[in-house]
Structure formats: C-alpha cells, structure tokens
Amino acid sequence: MDNFSIEEIYDRVGSDSKLHEFVGDTSYQKLIENKRTWEKKLDRVYESGINFITRESEKYPENLKQTEINPPILLYYKGDIDLLKKTIVAIVGTRFCSEYGKNVTKRFARELSNYSICVASGLAYGVDAFAHEAVMKAGGKTIAVLASGLNKPSPSGNVKLFHEIEKSGLALSEYFPDDEAQKYTFPERNRIVAGVSTATIVTEAPLKSGALITANIAAEIGREVFSVPGSILSGKSEGTNSLIKNGAAVLTDIMDIIHYLKTSDVKIKQTCVAISLDFLEEKVYTLLKEEPLSIEELVDKSKIELSELFVIMLSMEVKGVVTKGVGNKYTVI
Amino acid sequence: MRLVLCVAKGNMLSIIKSFALNGIDGYEVKVEVDIHSGLPGFEITGLGDKAVKESKERVKSAVKNSGYLLAPKDVTVNLSPADIKKEGSHFDLPIAMGLLCATGQVLAKLAKEYAFAGELSLDGTLSRVKGILSMLTAARNAGIKKVICPKSNAPEACYIDGVEVYAFENLRDICDHISGEKTICPIEHKEISTISKNTSYDEDFKFVKGQTFAKRALEIAAAGGHNILLIGPPGGGKTMLAKCIPSILPEMTARECLETTKIHSISNKADEFKGIITNRPFRTPHHTSSRIALVGGGTAALPGEISLAHNGVLFLDEFLEYARGTLEILRQPLESKTVAVARAMRTITYPADFMLVASMNPCPCGHYGSKVNECKCNPGMIQKYMGRLSGPMLDRIDLHIEVDAVTYDELSDSNESENSASIKKRVNATRVVQQKRFEGEEYLCNASMSHSSLKKYCTLDEKSEELLRRVFEKLGLSARAYSRILKVARTIADLAGMENIEFSHVAEAISYRSLDRAYWK
C-alpha cells in the first residue's frame, strides 16, 4: 500500500479487499462514502488550489503516525507541506484570553520563531490567533490545523488570518474542503495539533477548555506538555495551573522548552539580534520587568519627567523591547 | 357713541413693523391690519402657524382688558411677505398695535417709528418671546432704530447695540409711551465683556484623584479644541472627567456669546436660559436620542443638540450605544462646523462648531484591560464591538485615551490635585497664541487647522521627521493619524510655550492615539 496516490486508492475502493483489510471497517465505509463525493467535486478541489497527502505519502509526518491518535487517512493542505518536516511546537489556549494570556502567547510564539521553530495551532479566536499572528509578524512559519474544510475556514473572524497563513505557512485539515465545522470536529482537530508537534505549550486555559484536550492527547502520546503558570486568582489560568499540578513542565522562560528540544536531538539555531538600551531606558526596563506599569506609575517610580518619558517609551517601543497594551500599561516583551 | 368716534378717527388701514425668524436669522415682517365693514370677523393671512392663528383671541381679550375698544367689524390681518411660513406668539403685540392704530386709539404716525414683538396675555401683560436677539439683529440690519419688546426679554436684549430697545410690562404702558403721556428711556446697552463670569463649577479637577494622564489629555483637548474619545471600564470616572471639562474651557468671546445665545433663544430652551450665555454650553444628549434631536429638524426646523453645543462641548456618553446612523450624521457637521436642516418648505443652516467629547467601554462586558475586573469577552466579540466605531468617525477624533478605574490608594491620597482654575489659565493663554496665529483665518484653534496651515505651522526638523517615520512603520500607525498627531503636537508645543514642535511633543501626541495601535485590532 506504500506510496499510492489518493486516486489510486480510490480506484481500488469497492474492488480491493486488501484495502478494506488495511484501513479497517469504519474507515473503509468512510472511503466509499467519500469516493462518491470526491468524484463529483474533484475538479473543484483542484481549482481551489488544495492538495492532499495520504497516510502512505512520503510527506506524511512521522509524528502523526502514532496509532493512539487514529491518524487521519487523508490530510488536505494549502501552503508549504515541507513545514511538517521541521521542528513543530504547538501553542494552544483559551479563546477568551486575558491581556496576560495574550502577551504570554505572543512572547513565546515570537521567541520560538527566533529559534526557527514552527508553531502549530488551531486558528481559533484568542490564544490560537495571537500565536499565528505573532509568528508571522516575527517572520516565522506557522501551521494552522482547521476544524473545517479548507474552503470553509472557521471561525469567520479569522478568515483573513487563514489566507495569510496559507500564503506564508501551512493550513491543514482532515475534512473534505467543503465541510463546515461541527461541534465534534474541534476536539478531533486537536489530536492533529498535538500529533504533529514535538511539544505542546498551553499559555492560558480555564478548567473547561479545548486546550486541555490537546494537552491530554499530547501527554498520552508521550509528547512533553508545557504549561505557563498564571495567577491563582484568575479563573482563566485554572487549567494551566492544574496542568502543572498534574505534572506538566513549567514554562516561564523560552529556554525551558529550548533545553527540552535540544535534549531530544533537535537542531536549534537562534536568529535573535541583540538590542542596546541607553541608561534611562535600562532604568525603565528594569521597572517594567517587575510588573506592567502605566505612564503615570512610571513617572512616580522612575522620577523621570513626563515629557522625557514619552520619548523614552516611544523609542523602546520602536526597538521592540516594550509594548503598550490595553489600559495604558507598558509591558516588556 | 365713543366707539363710532374712534373708528371714524382711524384711517382703517395700518401697517406695523415686526419680525419673523428663519433659523437663527430674523427678517422684517409688515403686519397689515385693515378694518372694513361687513359681518364682524377676524382673519389672519400670511401663512401663520397655529400660534399665529390663535393670536386673534389673545389680542381681542388683551385689547379689551387694557381699556381699549374693538369695533364689531370685519378685521383682516396680513403678515407680509405672505408666502413664507411664520411661527410664534410674538405677532400678538404688532397685531394689537395695528388694531389700535387702525381704530385710531393710538396715532399711527407715532407708532410708525417702532417695531414690535411680544406675546400678550388676556389681561394685556406681555410675556417673553423667543429669538429676541435674532430679531434685534434683523432690526439693526433693516435700519429700524426703535424696538418695543416685553420686559422679560430685556436681560438679553440689552447686549445688542445700534438699536434702542424699549421694554414694557403691558400693552397699556406701550400706548402711553407712544402717545407721549408717560414716556420711558430705552434700556441701557451693556457690553458682554462687563458681565461677571461664573467661575465656580460643581465639578472641578481638584476633586478628581489620580488620572493625571487623562487630565493632561483633556487639558490639551480644551486648549486646542480637539475632539476626544475616552475609553474605559464602567465606573472608571470617564463621565466624571468629562463633566469637569466646562471648568477648564477657554473664555467665550463676545461674538461667540451672541451666537450661542441666539441659538438657545430660538430653541424653546427658555427655562435653561437667562439673559446671555457666557459659559460654554455642555450638552449631554442621551444615547437614545434620535437623529432629529441631534442635528435639528421637526416641522419648525429647530436646532438640535449639536447646534445647542455651538462654541461648547457635545458630550456623547456611551458612544457606541448610539444607533450607527445617528453617529454617522455627525460626520458632516464635524467637518463643516455647520448643519443644514432641510424641511419641506425651507432649508435652514445652523452653526454647529462644537468640541466632541465621547466616552465608551472597551468591550461589551466593559472590563477589557481593567486592573480591577476580569473581562469575559473573546477577541471576536471585542472586534465586533469596536467595529461599530466607523473609520470616518474615528478619523475626526484627535485624541483617544484609556481611563482605568482608580484604585483605593489613589482615592485615599490626601494630596489635592491641581484645580481647574489654574488649568484654565494655561488653556486661555494657549488659545490667545492660537488666535494670533490664525488671525484672518476662518478658524481659531489648532484642531480646525487647514491643510495649508498644517504645512506652515507644524513642521518638524529632519531628525524628528525621520524618527516619526520609523515610529509609524514600527507601530503600524495609520496614515490618517499623521495630520491628527501633528495638530495635537502643535497644541502641546503651544502649551509648553514653544515656537517649534519638538519630538517630545510628537511622542506625547502619539501616546494619545490608543485606537491606532494594533492591540485593538
């Protein structure tokens, strides 16, 4: 069965008993079902620029072949399929993320890109979207695994993001291109996110969250799960904190995960550039490292004149050292 | 017997001068009263509204109760020009005077010198009429020297020079004055600059704890006449801050006082209005207000909230709760500083030069970015919520700042903040600089600077220009923000008393542009 193209497999559907044996009953039924739809819509699929790989293809990622996660027979894709050969780390989390979750997500996504590590996520709102965005902004590569067909990207608010990803990265889906997302496709999709990744990071998640499903799958198939601790007072960090309680690795610094990847024989190359700060900038930076501060609080603590501080903050923003978030708070990146 | 005599003495037709209003402009109207034989009747022609039609009943009673007589004859009153709709109860007095002249009870040639406006009670007392300033301005333009009006209109009427205004309490006194039996002096003309201005306000910045950043932004907004948007969680003090704005607004000039008073005078805001307006208006329409309520209209094409806020502040609390259509109609007035209200019979242009102050929550639940409460919205919801703020609308707002709730420590801080009076001093000084700069232009403040002025007065040195270009690239600021930032930087430089804009001014201006930042997108 090795190295058959999908057409060749479909040719055998209904006539080849070996194939039936090979894929099992349910999958075979699905294949027969899909064959009918497939034949009808094949032209359209090609027109929309979608390709696919089968479990037997050379390009099918080894990571995904573990039987515990029921590897998809077919993976439709748009974009650069060779990304699956790179080191991939998943960043997942809640759709309803806080300012903290957003900053943390962006930070690790960007830092992973600086190490040329590919970031996978699920194109959902919140943490997923911020991870994809931050990677692309940093010039890295990102993989989006969709819970719907590639012609019906969901959620609707992230369609623009999806198109950017298919151009610069890779979009994957096991569903027929015209399929809409269903309630059950989201957890199903999570197994692929965990499957293609060497490690999974959960940046922010409440107790009831799809991100925890991804983390559990990752743990089950023997991949390392990294969890970013959050405030014990914030309900949005209850899930990540409980992951740590249950034995997940703590991620507070990018080196935590880099060390792990290095020990698992992954080649890491840092592409980061050093940034120089002047004396006053250094002073402000030290203050901001402790906690995010508003400009008023900075005036109080640094004893720098307000008018001067405006210039310092702007220059640090341009250097990409700090960022101004919601509520006038400056945060170190 | 006496009645017949009176009628015989009169010349049967009399023409009395009065005024009608078209928007905030008045124009002269001739009230023609003719008495002729026929079945007793009273007809008013000349497209008067219901108030004008009912005038005949008031006039008849007032004339009778003032001790004059009415002939049981056919009376025709015409308001000329007869093809323009006329409104208001101020035609009572000219009609009554016309009647008295036509019946010879007052000498027509003596009454000719005057123009009249006033509402009559049944007992002959005069009541206040609206729009007296517009009428007096019309009188001056038409070359009418003497005007008679109700005494209750005297507090505003005294500010118009070039016209002698005689204020009376009742019809009888007017007739005595005209016939020379008991003459009075015209009311004394007052200069607006002599009015003692109200300097104590209920809300003062000294009561606002913390929020130094927001206060600074409001000071800049007031100094340069910039529109400002306050974003913050509920209970963050946005409304409190906004209510303090009147206390730091610059003094009104005499021309501004008259313009604003004219609008308030014609818009049935009688109880809100005493004499001349010397404090900049602060209008706070509710977010359920209709379009008509905001821009003006109705059958009488009255001015709306934006015109009532002329030369002052229009405060729109809960900005995004206004219906989208309602907000978008503000776009044109914000640019042109006037609003044209078109109705079936006419189009009236009202001035609407106001400073827009708006406040809104950052997300549907209101707590996004708050240090006190946790937000329950997902980014999609926030995006959708912010989407209600249209680009063109945002384009017209120079400063957008975030206001967070004050913590207990800040509240209990015993240090009193700077009071409004000293902020106002700086604002006034900055306005003087701007008035000098824009001498001969149509506008008086940095916010309404034209493109050519922008090039002339908002130049940066090469180093700053280069720095600004990098900031724009790095922070992803929109191009439309460019001129806004420069205008605000100009005001900041003016506040600092600087001739040229420096980079620190630009840096500060950029920090007041929250919504240009990527984190809202």
Q: What amino acid is encoded at B18 in this protein?
A: S
Share of chain A above pLDDT 90, in %: 29
Determine, for residues B379 and A311 on separate chains, whether the beta-carbon distance falls below 8 Å: no
- The pLDDT of B274-296, averaged and rounded, is 87
Question: What part of B 41-80 touches A (C-beta under 8 Å)?
Answer: none
Question: According to CATH, where is 1.10.10.10 located in chain A?
Answer: 279-332
> Which chain A residues are Cβ-neighbours of B475 within 8 angstroms?
317-318
Write out the H or E segment, with its range, that includes residue A241.
Answer: helix A238-245
CATH architecture entry for B205-445: 3-Layer(aba) Sandwich (3.40)
> Which chain A residues are Cβ-neighbours of B377 within 8 angstroms?
96
For A199-227, the pLDDT digits (tens) are 999 999 999 888 999 999 999 888 999 99
A72's tokens: 């998809």
Determine, for residues A311 and B370 on separate chains, whether the beta-carbon distance falls below 8 Å: no
For A173-191, the pLDDT digits (tens) are 998 888 888 889 998 999 9
Determine, for residues A126 and B379 on separate chains, whether the beta-carbon distance falls below 8 Å: yes
Q: Chain A within 8 Å of B385 (Cβ-Cβ)? A: no
User: Are residues A193 and A121 in contact, defined by beta-carbon separation less than 8 angstroms?
Assistant: yes
Which residue is it, tokens 């014990």?
A232
Q: What SS3 class is residue B425?
A: helix
User: Are residues A69 and A221 in contact, defined by beta-carbon separation less than 8 angstroms?
Assistant: yes
Q: Chain A within 8 Å of B374 (Cβ-Cβ)? A: yes
Angle between helices B503-511 and A306-319 (to 10 degrees): 80
Strand blocks (E) in B191-283 = 228-231, 282-283
Question: According to CATH, where is 3.40.50.450 located in chain A?
Answer: 81-263
Judge whether residue A268 has pLDDT over 70.
no
Q: Chain B within 8 Å of A38 (Cβ-Cβ)? A: no
Q: How many CB atoms lie within 10 A of CB B56?
A: 18
- The pLDDT of A248-274, averaged and rounded, is 75
For A76-104, the pLDDT digits (tens) are 899 999 998 888 999 999 998 888 898 89
For B139-165, the pLDDT digits (tens) are 999 999 999 999 988 888 888 888 999
Angle between helices B212-224 and B481-495 (to 10 degrees): 90
Question: B49 to chain A, minimum CA–CA distance in Å?
Answer: 55
What is the rounded distance in angstroms from the CA atom of residue B333 to the CA atom of residue B316? Answer: 15
Q: Chain B within 8 Å of A313 (Cβ-Cβ)? A: yes
Give the residue among B240, B465, B237 at the shortest CA–CA distance from B372: B237
User: Are residues A226 and A205 in contact, defined by beta-carbon separation less than 8 angstroms?
Assistant: no
A vs B, Cβ pairs < 8 A, gives 88
Long-range contacts of A297-303 (CB under 8 A, 24+ apart): A298/A330, A299/B212
| Bridge partners for A5 per DSSP | none
CA closest to B513 among chain A residues: A328
For B230-252, the pLDDT digits (tens) are 998 887 788 888 888 988 998 88
For B332-384, the pLDDT digits (tens) are 898 888 898 887 767 888 999 999 999 998 888 888 877 777 778 877 788 88
Please report the pLDDT score of residue A269 as a whole number.
Answer: 59
Does residue B379 have a cis bond before it (omega within 30 degrees)?
no
Q: Chain A within 8 Å of B210 (Cβ-Cβ)? A: yes
B215's tokens: 């206060």
Q: A92 — phi, psi (to 5°)?
A: -130, 165
Question: B213 to chain A, minimum CA–CA distance in Å?
Answer: 7
What is the rounded distance in angstroms from the CA atom of residue A208 to the CA atom of residue A187? Answer: 13
Q: So where are chain B's domains?
A: 2-179, 205-445, 449-521
* CATH number, domain B2-179, options 1.10.3720.10, 3.40.50.300, 3.30.230.10, 3.40.50.880: 3.30.230.10
Nearest CB to B368 within list A294, A326, A329: A326
Please report the pLDDT score of residue B492 as a whole number.
Answer: 93
Report the top-level CATH class of A81-263: alpha beta
Q: Chain A within 8 Å of B472 (Cβ-Cβ)? A: no
3-state SS, one letter per residue, for B336-379: HCEEEEEECCEEEEEECCCEEEEEECCCCCCCCCCCCCCCCCCH
Domains B205-445 and B449-521 share a fold: no
Please report the pLDDT score of residue A122 as a whole number.
Answer: 93
Whole-prediction pTM value? 0.74
Q: Which is it for strands B282-283 and B313-316: parallel, antiparallel or unpaired?
A: parallel
Region of B131 please: left (phi>0), alpha (psi -120 to 50) or beta: left
CATH topology of domain B449-521: Helicase, Ruva Protein; domain 3 (1.10.8)
What is the rounded distance in angstroms from the CA atom of residue B494 to the CA atom of residue B500? Answer: 9
Determine, for residues A234 and B471 on separate chains, whether the beta-carbon distance falls below 8 Å: no
Please report the pLDDT score of residue B5 as a whole number.
Answer: 44
B89's tokens: 């109860």
Q: Using CB atoms within 10 A of its CB, is residue B433 exposed (0-12), middle (13-18) or buried (19+)?
A: middle
Give the residue among A244, A245, A186, A237 at the shortest CA–CA distance from A213: A186
Interface test with A, best of B378, B401, B506, B517 (most A CBs within 10 A): B378
What is the rounded distance in angstroms from the CA atom of residue B189 to the CA atom of residue A325? Answer: 58
What is the rounded distance in angstroms from the CA atom of residue B123 to the CA atom of residue B106? Answer: 19
Q: Using CB atoms within 10 A of its CB, is residue A92 exposed (0-12), middle (13-18) or buried (19+)?
A: buried
Q: Chain A within 8 Å of B471 (Cβ-Cβ)? A: yes
For A145-166, the pLDDT digits (tens) are 999 988 889 888 889 999 999 9
CA closest to B509 among chain A residues: A310
Q: Chain B within 8 Å of A132 (Cβ-Cβ)? A: no
Judge whether residue B272 has pLDDT over 60.
no
> Which chain B residues are Cβ-neighbours of A131 within 8 angstroms?
none
Q: Chain A within 8 Å of B140 (Cβ-Cβ)? A: no
Interface test with B, best of A314, A317, A319 (most B CBs within 10 A): A314
Determine, for residues A317 and B376 on separate chains, whether the beta-carbon distance falls below 8 Å: no
CATH topology of domain A279-332: Arc Repressor Mutant, subunit A (1.10.10)
Indicate the pLDDT class of residue A238, thresholds 50, 70 and 90: very high
A8's tokens: 């060749």
Give the residue among A185, A215, A195 at the shortest CA–CA distance from A124: A185
Interface test with A, best of B208, B209, B211, B212 (most A CBs within 10 A): B212
Share of chain B above pLDDT 70, in %: 92
Chain centroid to CA A31: 29
What's the ipTM?
0.70
CA closest to A325 among chain B residues: B519
Q: What amino acid is encoded at B268 in this protein?
A: N
